[in-house]
Amino acid sequence: MTDTDTVIDLATPETATPFIEVRGLTKRFGEVLANSDVAFDVRSGEVHALLGENGAGKSTLMKLLYGVYHADEGEILVQGEPVTISSPAVARDLGIGMVFQDLRLVPAFTVAENISIALADQGFVYRRGAVEAQISAAASEMGFDVDPGALVRHLAIGERQRVEILKVLMAGARMVILDEPTSVLAPQEVDALFAAISELRAKGLAIVIITHKLHEARAIADRVTVLRGGRIVARGIDPTTIDDRELIGHMVGREVPALPAERPAPGQSPDPVLRVAGITVGGDGGHTAVRDVHLDIAPGELVGVAGVSGNGQRELFEAVLGLRSLGGGTITIDGTPVRKADPRIAIAVGGVGIPEDPLAHSVVPGLNVLEHMVLADLGSVRKGVGIDWDRARDQLAQLDERTQLRIAASHREVASLSGGNVQRVILTRTLGDVDARLVLAAYPSRGLDIATTRRTQELLLERRASGAAVLLISEDLDELLELSDRIAVLHAGELAGIVRPGEVDRYEIGRLMLGGNE
Ligand code: ADP
Ligand code: MG
């Protein structure tokens, strides 16, 4: 497929006026053409999924509808009438509501206070009893279990999201936009959200849900639209008429190969590469972030770590790499104990790590791509007291060739690269290391495009095949189920269980993620 392919358009049997329709919408941010000549519509009583890779322009398009941004060109019609949506308040007056990707509630306030603040511009005056009663009524109409007097900081993510939805409904929304609402939810919570969305659809609301998970779009959407590079590449398709391969093709612009189905069995060595024995690790706030965790990984085995973010994943990762000291228990890598917080120990025995936030943890300001490669592997390019730069350049070329992650030119300063390009440098350096004994990868594909994500997953399997023990932390259950030999589930810093893909379904994993109470 190329950019010049004709747009698929099975849209709107023109029986009714859509709730909202846009034509020729274009939005630039400086040089970036975030939306280009976009035409799109959403009907009342439908769920419309907006698909696309990171940076495709999905959030921008929705923010144009919600009055956060203003289009450079094009028009917006609400119920057939041209409108100018100059601010979110105007959008709300027109019946348009939006639940943002990063939820926007004040943690120290109660549910009722948060909703009152949000509705203040609609002449909503805070009288506690009345507001709480209204919230309770709205919640029970939706089948939500929400306590209006609860402090938001005591609510789980899924509950906060329900508060956001209530807030939007109480503002009188006729259309609800949800920007990647499922990315932080366990499968059970996704089901609850989808039940709520179905309820809204049944009430005749127009709903847009942004996602990049195809199975979610299939589960909930009546129609799907795909954006790529700011342009619509497929509009208003009935998702039952198109397969995943074709949809991904639209999102990426070319075919993405499937992962190899045949894999060697993991090593059965009695000596694991990584042995985590009853460790306890403190978190940044002085609390116990990891408690009595046991986990062994054999050579050639890939163990995934699942959990709602903030349940000890980061601290586990940092403890194994020697970035955080142990409060108790032991860690050994190939028999070598990691006793103190000193990352040189793990590196010396062949450990490599992809940190959760590479910009903060792996980038040295002022150093270029080549210098970063050398930093990771000084030993092999040392020449007397200096560095053999020719050799380093050769090695970088080899890594680049092997990983095929298309890193930036070697003279580019890493700190000046975009997040995705920094990640490629880190991935090339770590996953290209054929001698690695232990690969620790925390959210390695976060922020990457689909094709690079797939290549990264292949590389994790390649390191597994070359005999490394691989620990993969991910918030994408599909990815974990596809890649892992075993999945360890963390909840509140404890190991809630270790399961094998194929022997459990995603709900069982979700149940463990939620502490076994769902
Ligand atoms: P998506 O939601 O599909 O991931 P976005 O709509 O957030 O994509 O972004 C589309 C493009 O516009 C990206 O290249 C992004 O970097 C750019 N962009 C988005 N918001 C802004 C902004 N406020 N300022 C500058 N560039 C932006
Ligand atoms: Mg977005």
Averaged pLDDT, 84-89? 95
**pLDDT at site 9:** 42
Ligand 1, residues 27, 29, 31, 68: which to mutate, most atoms within 8 A of Cβ? 29
Model confidence at 256, pLDDT cuts 50, 70, 90, reads: confident
Whole-number pLDDT of residue 517: 59
Closest residue to atom 7 of ligand 1, CA basis:
59
**Residue 3: per-residue pLDDT:** 45
Tokens of residue 497, six digits? 């269980």
| Confidence (pLDDT) at 379 | 62
Instruction: Write the CA distances from 259 to 109, 354, 455, 460, 462, integer angstroms.
Output: 46, 21, 9, 11, 11
Average pLDDT over residues 344-365: 81
Taking alpha carbons only, the member of 374, 420, 364, 367 closest to residue 396 is: 374
Dihedral-angle region of residue 329 (phi above 0 means left; psi in -120 to 50 means alpha; beta otherwise): left
Given this model, what pLDDT does residue 103 score? 75
- Interatomic CA distance for residues 331 and 249, integer angstroms: 44
| Per-residue pLDDT, 1 | 42
Whether the per-residue pLDDT at 22 is higher than 50: the answer is yes
**What Rg, from alpha-carbon coordinates, does the chain have?**
25
Q: Whose CA is nearest to atom 19 of ligand 1?
A: 60
Matching residue, tokens 């601290």: 315
Question: Is the pLDDT reported for residue 13 higher than 60?
Answer: no
- Three-state secondary structure along 332-394? EECCEECCCCCHHHHHHCCEEEECCCHHHHCCCCCCEHHHHHHHHCHHHHEECCEECHHHHHH
Atom of ligand 1 nearest to the CA of 69: 23
Which percentage of the chain shows pLDDT scores above 70? 94
> Ligand 2 centroid vs 49 CA: distance in angstroms?
13
* Residue 382: pLDDT over 80: no
Q: How far apart are CA 165 and CA 215, in angstroms?
A: 22
pLDDT-derived band at 38, boundaries 50, 70, 90: very high
Edge-to-edge strand ranges of the sheet holding 336-337:
288-297, 274-282, 326-333, 336-337
Structure confidence at residue 123 (pLDDT): 61
pLDDT in tens, 308-326: 878 999 999 999 988 899 9
State the Cα–Cα distance between residues 323 and 335, nearest whole angstrom. 19
Name all residues whose Cβ lies below 6 A of ligand 1: 29, 32, 34, 52, 54-60
For ligand 1, atom 27: residue with the closest CA: 29
Tens of pLDDT, residue by residue over 92-116, are: 999 999 998 777 888 899 999 999 8
Q: What is the arithmetic mean of pLDDT over 214-220? A: 92
Separation of CA 383 and ligand 1 centre (Å)? 45
Measuring from atom 17 of ligand 1, which residue has the nearest CA?
Answer: 34
**Beta strand 469-473 with 302-306: parallel, antiparallel or unpaired?**
parallel
Ligand 2 centroid distance, CA of 180 (Å): 7
Query: What confidence score (pLDDT) does residue 319 get?
Result: 93
Residue 106 and residue 152 in contact, taking contact as beta carbons nearer than 8 Å = yes
- E strands, 68-117, are 73-78, 81-83, 96-99
Kindly give the distance from the C-alpha atom of residue 55 to the centroid of ligand 2, in angstroms, as a whole number.
Answer: 7
Report residue 495 as tokens. 């190991």
Interval between CA 419 and ligand 2 midpoint (Å): 15
Mean pLDDT across 266-284? 89
Q: Is the pLDDT of residue 339 over 50?
A: yes
pLDDT in tens, 405-450: 888 888 888 888 878 888 888 899 899 989 999 999 999 988 788 8
**What are 122-169's pLDDT values in tens digits?**
665 667 788 889 899 988 888 888 899 999 988 888 888 889 999 998
pLDDT averaged over the chain? 88
Name residues whose C-beta falls within 8 Å of residue 92's C-beta, 6 or more positions apart in sequence: 121, 122, 171, 172, 173
Residue 10's pLDDT is what? 40
Residue 302, amino acid: L
Of 140-144, 185-189, 191-195, 384-388, which one has max mean pLDDT?
A: 191-195
Q: Determine which of 12-21, 87-96, 342-351, 464-473 has the lowest per-residue pLDDT on average.
A: 12-21
For the residues of 35-68, what is the DSSP string, one character each?
EEEEEEEE-TT-EEEEE--TTSSHHHHHHHHTTS
Please say whether the beta carbons of 477 and 509 come within 8 A: yes
CB 57 within 8 A of CB 22: no
